[in-house]
Structure 1
């Protein structure tokens, strides 16, 4: 028997709820969404704001119960944390409370860290006292019916009598001395709970009344609305449905039908009431709940959830800003879509003025939103204030020009979401990359072309040809183009101002050439590319540990790309953390590093930072201990060497500083070799007197006159010598460079080095496999069939005469960059970059000698 009672008690509430929901559906089956939306659209924006404020205020008052509870029970909890928990408890209880059961349960859960003996008793006491507001108003309603002040509702006195009886029973039971239910309750605390109960019910009642007045219900008086609210609340309490949903609404529909309020109007009334009292606060509570949950998960999972959520939110906001800007511009350029600005209809006498006033705000705000969206997409800090300003202007303009509340709410929600996502903006400056310029160019081009097409369509001859509009003379077209010029001018002015604001505060990455600092870094570690730093066409980034330089990279800026030349140099133990810091510092300033001609180790490190990479080619490394001119394969080399000896050619390695005569010969050979072509740079040494004076030069002389030469660069860290700048005269015999290389190999070996680097062979052994990346397969086709432009195969074949050891070199670039734009950047910086190399810093010893 007990089990049956237990089951029945569990079935009462859900059964009642189902019956009430079915009854609600039956009563509203003839109500359409079009009727509801039409009524809601009649609500002015200021009325919606008033309802929102009243709705949240009615809920906010109930949270004071928990502040009193915390002070009464001596909770040790911060104010912000207390308010958050109180909001969750009361909002969820309003929407899902079973006669106070949910409120007690939620307080038990959310105040678990403040638990004390007999903790449930204060919760019960607070709940009973929270009913006093409804009890007092029910007594007033009962007296009004009993005294025939409101004679129409005699049949519902039973509900009022029921709540009075239930309340009397609860109070009587609670006063039994043996139960001690009011033990510990102070009179002052009880008065506060009662006061809050009455205030909360009055605010809730006020929201209901204001909602009815807002939608234009004038058939009943305010006093009757208040009476009906008390009756429906009483019925909802007695039925004990979750959060009073269903029973309150059904009762209110029945009551309103008795006072000649139409069903569609009554439904809209209840929907608006539920939206502002239940749904909007519930959304805020759910948002707060998920925020608290995400904060806990974020701590448990080391910040990953917040990072992912931030990125997703940022993407959504960026796309929304673009779409909103696009739609605003379209609505401004398309007269059929544009909304008329209130109060400007009287300007019809001046068509051009009216058109400008009607469409100009849309177009200007639309383009400003597109620019702001780009700044937000780039995650630039300076875009924060400017975007807020633009969105606020859009909100104001929407309030003035549109008659519906939905657009205002949409933009306002977007504004709030953007403000809350402030942490996703971290870059210190705005750089418009080529990739972004292409995307934005497509968007802006589409809008501008559509605008121009619209102007052409409005031209008189077009309208006469296709629409036979005889009344369209020259004036409509003239007005249209006058408006177009004015719009373009104003959009240009505002766009330039916003772009200048975003582009302000430009800061360079790294440092300019400082010979002393660079030499100190090279003393720690160098590579066969560090000589290129002395060209002076690059900047240098230094990674420090304990304020000491331990690692450096050389790079040149082009657009938003920091083109790094070669591997980092310095202490190899700091490659990983130094590169990571470089990538992060570059990212903060809006730059994306591109690692060009780097080793496999650096390419793999860059890949860990989310970079793509592919093989550029291979460097020819001559292993000095293994090199020999003996054997059949080297027969041609030996023959050339003998011919050079018989021809009087001599090999020497000249050490700087060089005399004026030597420099004159070197420059003459270089000018002849270039034959008017522009000198290359960045990844290659170029001829410059200051640069040439820094390194030894291997020369082939005949009769004390230089016929060919090559600058030699030594990397002590790599135990390697590299051939940098190579030049020879036109009259020098074939094979002169073979002789120079063989002698240089012997010289390098005599210096105790391990390898001689003959330089890279571009695209060598790239994309030879079917499973290779598509871009590498394409590079292989260029290698095989591009000999008319550059002798890729010929260069690789030539260097193969001296070595079989080929070391792959790579390019690594961010996945956010387009490989086409990376290649264009490399082509654009493939030049000297400076008029001349930095002067040599002369260091004297104590005797004032070099």
Structure 2
């Protein structure tokens, strides 16, 4: 028997709740969501704001109990933290309270860090006193019914009597001497809790009445509304359903139907009360709880959750701005389609009024949203204020022009989400990349071309010549097309203004050429590509440790791409840190590094930063200790060398500075070799008097006249000599470069170096495997069938005569970049880039200066 009582005691509350909810569904089965949403949507924006404020204020006053509780019990807790906990406790208790048990449990959980003896007693005391408001209201309602002030509700007096009895019993139990439930309670504390309870109930009742007046319930007097609210509240309390859901609603619907109010109106009244008193505060509490939990989880997982959430939020906001801008332009150019898509506006049919009041602002705001979306997509900090301004203008325009509350709520949510995601906008400047220009150009082009075509198709002369062409109905009149030019002009002006704002305060990445600083860095560590730093077409980024340069990269800017030439140079132990800092600093300024002709080590480091890479080709590196002209395979080269010696050719290495006569010979040979072709640069040395004067030159002379030459660059860090600029006369015999290379190899070996770099063979051994990347397979086809344009195979075959030691070289690029745009950027900077190389100040060799 005791077991049965225990089970029944546990089942009575959920059973009652299920019965009441079922009854509520049965009573409202003919009410559709379309009807409810239509009524809610008919609220004006100021009515919605008023009800939101009233609803939150009704809940907010209940948090005063916890604020006073903390002061009464001397809790040591910061005010902001206290307000957050108080809001969570009271909102969840309002929506899920079982006769105060939820409030006791929540306070026990959320105030766990405030260790106090008999901690539950103050919570119970506060709960009992919080019933004062309902008790006072029930007494007043009972007196009103007893005195026949409000006739017709005599049957409801039983509920009022029940609540009085229940509260009376609770009060008597609390005063049992042995329980000591009121021990420690002071009079001023009790007065505070009682006053707060009465104020909270008064505000809830006021919200209920205001909603009734707002939706136009004129058949019920205010006093009657207050009485109905009190009776329904007493019934809900007596049945002890969670948060008064179900019992309050059923009771209220029955009471309202008894006085002749239509069921649809009653349901809307009830729904609005639940939305503004329960759901919106509950949503805010859930958001607050999510915020608190996210901070805890974020701390536990070292910031990864917030990072991921920031990325997702930023992308959602960006996509929303693009879609919103597109729909705004659509509503200004094709209102019938936009009306079906958006369902937001009731358009004016007079053309002239429409153009001024709807078409122009819709199109202007739409394109401003598209520009703002681009700034937000680029994560530019400067886009924050401009986007706030644009969204503010959209918000004001919607309030004035649209009749529905739905878009107002949507824009408000978007604006709040954007403000909260401010940290995702970190870049210091806006750079419109080629990839983004293509995407934006397609969007803008489709919108503008569609607008013009629709205007043309609706023009009188078009319809006159094409009688079978039906009017599209997408444009109210030809006035749209006639005013199109003005609209586009205004949009263009706003576009220029907003883009100039985003482009303001452009900063350069890195620093310009500083020979003294560069030479100091090269003395720490160089590569066989660092000679290209002196052709004068690049900028430099220096990574510092304790304010001292330890690593540097050379690069050239094209659009938003920082084209890095070769491996970093300096202290190799800082490759990882220096490259990471370079990538981050570039990103902050809106640039994306591209690492061109880099070693496998650098390609792998770039891959760790989220970069893709593929093989560009291979460098021919002659191992000097292993090179020999002996053997059958070198027979042709030996023959050429002997013929050159018999023909009077002499090999020499000239050291700078060079005489005027030598410079004249070198320039003449270079001009003849170029034959009017444009000089290349960036990844190749080019002929310039200042640049030539920097390095030794290997020459083949005949009768004291130079016939062929090559500039020699030495990397002491790599113990390697590289052949840079190569030129020869047209009358020089075949094999002259073979002779020059063989002698240069001997010279490099005599200098104590280990390798001679003959340069890269583009696309060599790239994409030979079926499993290779598609882009590498395509490169292999170019290598095999592109000999008419560039002799890829011929160059590889020629260098193979001197070595079989091939070192792969790579290009690494960000996944944010399109490989096509990367290649276009490389083609555009593959030129001399400067009129003259920098003037010589000081040149370092192994002994520092010569």
TM above 0.5, one fold?
yes
CA distance in 1, matches of 2:108, 2:175: 24
- Equivalent residue, structure 1, for 2:428: 428
| Equivalence map 1:1-40=2 (5 Å) | 1-40=1-40
Deviations 1:248-273 (A, max 9, x none): 00000000001111001111111111
In 1, the alpha carbon distance for the partners of 2:34 and 2:486 equals: 41
Within-5 A mapping of 1:737-756: 737-756=737-756
Partner of 2:438: 438
Residue of structure 1 equivalent to 2:587? 587
Any residues of structure 2 matched to 1:654-733 within 5 Å, and which? 654-733=654-733
Give the structure 1 partner of residue 104 of structure 2.
104
Separation in 1 of the partners of 2:207 and 2:344?
A: 32
1:624-672 CA-to-partner distances (Å, cap 9, x unmatched) read 0000000000000000000000010000000000000000000000011
TM-score by length of 2: 0.97
CA distance in structure 2 between the partners assigned to 1:759 and 1:394 by the alignment: 59
Q: What is the SS of the residue equivalent to 1:772?
A: coil
Equivalent position of 1:285 in the other structure: 285
Q: Secondary structure at the match of 2:134?
A: helix
1:784 aligns with 2:787: no
Who is 2:326 aligned against?
326
Once residues 279 and 460 of structure 1 are traced to their aligned partners in structure 2, the CA distance between those partners, rounded to angstroms, is 54
CA–CA separation in structure 2 for the residues paired with 1:106 and 1:476: 60
- Contact 2:317–2:418 (CA<8 Å) still a contact in 1? yes
Structure-2 residue corresponding to 1:89: 89
SS in 1 for 2:178: helix
Distance 1:617 1:32, change over 3 A: same
Answer whether contact 1:542 1:553 (CA < 8 A) is retained. Answer: yes
Q: Does 1:638 align with 2:638?
A: yes
Are positions 1:448 and 2:437 aligned together? Answer: no
Cα distance, 1:445 vs structure 2:
1.1
User: Hey, what's the Cα distance between the residues in 2 that align with 1:312 and 1:341?
Assistant: 27
Please tell me whether the aligned partners of residues 341 and 357 of structure 1 are also in contact (alpha carbons under 8 angstroms): no
Q: Distance in 1 between matches of 2:842 and 2:249?
A: 92
Q: Which residue of 2 aligns with 1:262?
A: 262
Where does 1:516-595 land on structure 2 (aligned, <5 Å)?
516-595=516-595
Q: 1:226-237 residue pairs with structure 2 within 5 A?
A: 226-237=226-237
Return 356-365 or 322-331, whichever deviates more.
356-365
Q: Secondary structure, in 3 states, of the residue corresponding to 2:841?
A: coil
- Structure 1's 342 and 531: CA in aligned 2 closer, same or farther, altered over 3 A? closer
Counterparts of 1:291-690 in structure 2 under 5 Å?
Answer: 291-336=291-336, 348=350, 351-352=351-352, 354-464=354-464, 479-690=479-690
Q: Kindly report the root-mean-square deviation, in angstroms, between the aligned alpha carbons of the 2 structures.
A: 1.9
Q: Which residue of 1 aligns with 2:840?
A: 840
Distance 2:736 2:360 in 1: 72
Per-residue deviation, residues 355-388 of structure 1 (Å, max 9, x unmatched): 2332000000000000000110111000101001
Q: 2:684 & 2:176 partners in 1: Cα distance?
A: 98
Asked if structure 2 preserves the Cα contact closer than 8 Å seen for 1:429 and 1:503, the reply is: yes
Instruction: Please list, as runs of the form range in 1=range in 2, the aligned pairs for 1:774-813 lying within 5 A after superposition.
Output: 774-813=774-813
In structure 2, distance between residues paired with 1:333 and 1:457: 13
Q: TM-score with structure 1 length normalisation?
A: 0.97
In the alignment, the residues of structure 2 paired with residue 211 and residue 830 of structure 1 have an alpha-carbon distance, to the nearest angstrom, of 72
C-alpha change, 1:470 and 1:576, in structure 2 (3 Å) is: closer
- How far apart are the structure 1 equivalents of 2:622 and 2:344? 78
Q: Distance in 1 between matches of 2:381 and 2:70?
A: 40
Q: Report the secondary structure of 1:151's partner residue.
A: coil
Distance 2:812 2:203 in 1: 64
* Range with greater deviation from structure 2 (209-218 or 702-711): 209-218
Give the deviation of 1:842 after TM superposition: 4.7
Deviation of the 1:482 alpha carbon: 3.3
CA distance 1:771–1:480, change in 2 (3 Å): same
Q: Does the aligned pair in 1 maintain the 2:327–2:338 contact within 8 Å? A: no
* Greater mean deviation of Cα atoms: 68-77 or 3-12: 3-12
Q: Does 488-497 or 171-180 show the bigger shift?
A: 171-180
Q: Where has structure 1 moved over 2 Å in runs of 4 or more?
A: 335-345, 351-354, 461-472, 475-482
CA distance in 1, matches of 2:299, 2:480: 59
In the comparison of the two structures, how many residue pairs are matched?
Answer: 841
Give 1:485 deviation, angstroms: 1.3
Distance 2:521 2:242 in 1: 73
Partner deviation per Cα, 1:414-435 (whole Å, 9 max, x = no partner): 0000000101110000111111
- Taking the aligned partners of 1:483 and 1:59, their CA distance within structure 2 comes to 52
8 A contact 1:342–1:400 mirrored in 2: no
CA distance in 1 between partners of 2:344 and 2:270 (Å):
33
Q: Kindly report which structure 2 residues correspond to 1:82-231, keeping only aligned pairs within 5 A, or say none.
A: 82-231=82-231
1:68 paired to 2:49? no
Q: How far has the Cα of 1:469 moved from its partner? A: 10
**Cα deviation code 1:308-359 (max 9, x no counterpart):** 00100111110001000000000001143578999996x94xx446423320
Q: Which runs of 5+ in 2 are unaligned?
A: none
Per the TM alignment, residue 463 of structure 1 is displaced from its structure 2 partner at its CA by 3.3
Q: Is the contact made by 1:352 and 1:482 (CA closer than 8 Å) also made in structure 2?
A: no
Q: Which moved more, 1:809-818 or 1:146-155?
A: 146-155
Does the residue aligned with 1:540 lie in a helix, a strand or coil?
strand
Contact 2:597 2:810 in 1 (8 A): yes
Contact 1:543 1:549 in 2 (8 A): yes
Change (3 A) 1:588 1:342: closer
Contact 2:344 2:407 in 1 (8 A): no
1:516 shift after superposition? 0.1
Is the CA contact 2:460–2:478 (under 8 Å) kept in the aligned structure 1? Answer: no
183-192 or 756-765, which deviates more: 183-192
CA distance in 2, matches of 1:542, 1:471: 65
1:811 is paired with a residue of what secondary structure?
A: strand
CA–CA distance in 1 between the matches of 2:741 and 2:709?
Answer: 10
Instruction: Report the Cα offset of residue 464 of structure 1.
Output: 4.1
2:822 matched to which residue of 1? 822
SS of the residue 1:730 aligns to: coil
Contact 1:356 1:487 in 2 (8 A): no
Segment drifting more, 475-484 vs 801-810? 475-484
Cα distance in 1 for partners of 2:352, 2:706 equals: 78
Which secondary structure does the structure 1 equivalent of 2:790 belong to?
A: coil
Q: Secondary structure in 1 aligned to 2:7? A: helix
- Partner Cα distance (1:290, 1:273) in 2: 25
Any idea what the Cα deviations from partners look like across 1:490-509, whole Å, max 9, x if unmatched? Answer: 10111110001001110010
Q: 1:342 to 1:762 in 2, by over 3 A?
A: closer
- Return closer, same or farther for 1:699/1:809 CA change in 2, 3 Å cut-off: same
**How far off is 1:115 after superposition?**
2.5
